[in-house]
Amino acid sequence: MPSKKSVFQPIALLRTSLGSIVQNPVILYPFAIMAAIQIFIIEILFFAPRYPLNIFFGPMIKTMEGERFLHYPYNYAILNKWFASTQMVTYVLLNSFFFGVAVLIIYLLNSGKTMRLRSVFRQALSRYIHLAVAVLLPVVCLKGFAWAYSLVIRRALLIRSTSGKFFMIKQIVLMGAPYFNLFFAVIISVVFAFVVPLIVIEKKKVWAALIDNFKILFSSFWVIFTVVFLLSLVYVPFFMLKTNQIIYQAGLAPEVLGLTIVLGVFLTMVIDALQLTAITTYYLLKKEIK
């Protein structure tokens, strides 16, 4: 268990979390499983236009996207688009469970209790419904923001000015969309930060966990916000690379897009591991202080 002083220092908390992962690689185990599942999905989608998977996927691709997307290089566009569309489902149905497993592992390591992975998985499974709902809530919030922002974009597109303040507003809305989306994702992550630890460690139901989460967050918002924000900055260059379609504009080979998708899986695994370790460690230290 790190010193109590680090509770109130985001950088120290991140450093402690990184040290915990280095000293206890078992923390990465659930995240590695999540990454392996994501890679398996990527592999299926990569081979979807090829025999024998095209027997099943071929008609779907033709109907939904068009004939050309069965062939190189457009098959990489399908890989990117369809993989993105699977993320919400896997995040709610699978990641929620493995987040619970990770929190239990961190809790047992910090408390010095005996850890048996089979028992950890069983305990997380017993909380699965609450975990799935807890993870679904921020996803719904993000989808609601995306819908609301799409309305703002539609309004901005109606602006005909080519200079002046209205043109500037239009540019900010259109060009700033990825940045606003990322910032709001950070806020949502912070707002629901302690729900999973409360469900798993304290065995609370999701609604009770939400109430206690807000109580803890009241005195901890800026610490957790700083941690999540700093970790999000690590992802920004990669995020911007894909969102701004630099790959296409630079005339790079389509295979580069496939590589960035795979790299994104591993980058997300590392960021999620650090973030959840930091939040769980912070929660345990706050609990100890009380």
For 261, counting Cβ atoms within 10 Å of its Cβ (0-12 exposed, 13-18 middle, 19+ buried), the class is: buried
For the stretch 184-200, pLDDT in tens is 999 999 999 999 999 99
Number of domains into which the chain is organized: 1
Cα distances (Å, whole numbers) of residue 247 to 5, 178, 260: 44, 16, 10
Cα distances (Å, whole numbers) of residue 279 to 11, 136, 141, 191, 227: 13, 19, 20, 12, 9
**pLDDT at residue number 129:** 95
For 54, counting Cβ atoms within 10 Å of its Cβ (0-12 exposed, 13-18 middle, 19+ buried), the class is: middle
Q: What is the pTM of this model?
A: 0.88
For the stretch 117-153, pLDDT in tens is 899 999 999 999 999 999 999 999 999 998 998 898 8
Local confidence band at 283 (pLDDT 50, 70, 90 cut-offs):
very high
Q: What is the CA radius of gyration of the chain?
A: 21
Structural domain boundaries enclosing 139: 4-289
CB 247 within 8 A of CB 256: yes
Token representation of residue 181? 């989306």
Local confidence band at 82 (pLDDT 50, 70, 90 cut-offs):
confident
Token representation of residue 84? 């993105």
